[in-house]
Amino acid sequence: MSIFIDRDTRLLVQGITGREGRFHADRCRRYGTRIVAGVTPGKGGSEVDGTPVFNTVAEAVRKARANTSMILVPPPFAADAIMEAADAGIGLVVCITEGIPLFDMLRVRSFLRLTGCRLIGPNCPGLITPGVCKVGIMPGPIHTPGPVGVISRSGTLTYEVVHQLSRHGLGQSTCIGIGGDPVVGTSFLDCLQAFAEDPQTRGLVLVGEIGGSAEEEAARWIRDHLDMPVVGFIAGLTAPPGRRMGHAGAIVSGSGGTAAAKIRAMRDCGIHVCEDLGDFGGFCARVFHDLAPEIVFGQDKASPPDNTTADSFSARKKS
């Protein structure tokens, strides 16, 4: 099991004829993702690496039965691409594009409320269910299947965290990067709720950064609703206030949004906060071992104990 993507994912890539689009579509295909269509207006009828290209998302849905879309189009066209996908009945849209104007995203968010579509991103690495399906730009080989769910606002920082988890024998159920922009389609909270319903996920890693208050809200929800061990990490303890640190969302304004405040809020809600990124994997191994010894495969990932199959545990959401 996993959240949002699985064996039934039929992926469409919007912008597949671009350099980035083609490169990442190919990487996803090699990972095992079923890529059923590409969309580039005006290039319908052609093929990219064996994948049929359509002019519109509606056509790709009708003819190739796409149910998920990954968007890699330039920022001026990205909001339109998201809304086109939602309008055509796509259930999950993953927008990788960075630098979409904020007002475009406000309109997109209002528009999506009228549809049943979930948006992940923009400005995100996408998501991956290790060993099954990759919808994003993350390097596949660092991931291993397992019981830990990962939610993050960053790209490469998530890779670092996942790499350390894998090295300590902690496989992942689904890893999801929600994006570094101030307005994103899917929040920490949405992901937490989905992970809580997933029987495979028995531990969570939450990677946040300065700015906004999403981490604090997530922490409160975890305290009130979630009964599984959670490890948190917050980047930006040394960030100066008022400066935008790369991500449009990462700015400390006034006394809100600081790393110290977020860490405090997380600890108050029972989350195990790791402050040393160099020891993240070891920290997780200790926490997940103490709180749920059955989920840790041990340092040697080649020999997982027999009782770690997903179906021997049920989701542990508080009623």
Partner 1 sequence: MKLHEYQAKELLARYGLPVPEGRVAENVESGLQAADRLGYPVAIKAQVHAGGRGKAGGVQLARDRDEAREALASILGMTLRTAQTGGQGCRVRRVLVEQGVEICHEFYISILPDRASGTMMIIGSTEGGTDIEAVAARTPEKISRIHVDPFAGLQPFHIRRLAFELDLNECQEKQFFDLLRNLYRAVTENDLLLAEINPLVFTAADTFLLLDAKVEVDSSALFRHRDLAALRDDTDRDPLELEAGKYRLNYIRLDGNIGTMVNGAGLAMATMDLIKRAGAAPANFLDVGGGANAVMIEHGFRILLADPRVKAILINIFGGILRCDVLARGVVAAARATAIDMPVVVRMEGTNVEEGRRILAGSNLALVTAVDLRDAAEKIADIAGGL
Measured between alpha carbons, how far is residue 39 from residues 61, 69, 127, 151, 251 in Å?
10, 10, 20, 29, 35
Q: How far is the CB of 54 from partner 1 (least distance, A)?
A: 26
Q: How far is the CB of 317 from partner 1 (least distance, A)?
A: 25
Q: Which is nearer to partner 1, 37 or 135 (CB)?
A: 135
Q: Which strand ranges, in their side-by-side order, compose the sheet holding 145-152?
A: 133-136, 126-129, 172-177, 145-152, 203-209, 230-235, 272-273
State CA 66 to chain mean position distance. Answer: 20
Q: How far is the CB of 300 from partner 1 (least distance, A)?
A: 18
Query: Catalytic positions, please?
Result: 247
Query: What span, in angstroms and rounded, lies between the C-alpha atoms of 281 and 154?
Result: 17
Query: Tokens 């021997």 identify what position?
Result: 312
Cα-based torsion angle of the residue sequence 217, 218, 220, 224 in order, rounded to the nearest 10 degrees: 140
Query: What span, in angstroms and rounded, lies between the C-alpha atoms of 144 and 5?
Result: 16
Q: Which is nearer to partner 1, 66 or 100 (CB)?
A: 100
**Where along the sequence are the contacts to partner 1 (CB under 8 A)?**
20, 75-76, 99-104, 106-107, 109-111, 125, 137-139, 142, 152-160, 163, 180, 182-183, 207, 209-210, 212-213, 233, 235-240, 242-243, 245-250, 254, 259, 275-279
Q: Which is nearer to partner 1, 274 or 295 (CB)?
A: 274
Instruction: Give the residues across from 14 on adjacent strands.
Output: 39, 71
Q: Which is nearer to partner 1, 62 or 102 (CB)?
A: 102
Q: How far is the CB of 138 from partner 1 (least distance, A)?
A: 6
Measured between alpha carbons, how far is residue 225 from residues 50, 206, 317 in Å?
46, 16, 7
